[in-house]
Amino acid sequence: PATGLEAALGELLGPLAARLAEPPAAVLAALRARDALHGRAVRWADGEGTGAGIDETGALVVRRADGTVVTLEAGEVHLALPS
């Protein structure tokens, strides 16, 4: 019999395989539709700004207060707390 871990992995692998079989444009569209940071104030080690979307490579796009746009390809981002 499957253990709890094996059962959980089984439940995850089916949807993951289905997602990986989709065309990249469909995967990107699904990611963008679920972008919880879009329009939200965020901060990271080197700055802060407002989430402005997800680019074609899957990187987070952030607009700084001065209007410049930064692309974050990896790292940790936090929601900025209101002051």
DSSP letters spanning 7-71: HHHHHHHHHHHHHHHS-HHHHHHHHHHT-TTBTSEEEETTEEEEEEEE-TTS-EEEE-TTS-EEE
Q: What is the pLDDT of residues 55-79, one digit of tens each?
A: 999 999 999 999 999 999 998 999 9
Q: Is this structure's pTM higher than 0.85?
A: no
- Residue 61, number of CB atoms within 10 A of its CB: 18
Distance between CA atoms of residues 81 and 11, nearest Å: 35
- Residue 3 scores a pLDDT above 90: no
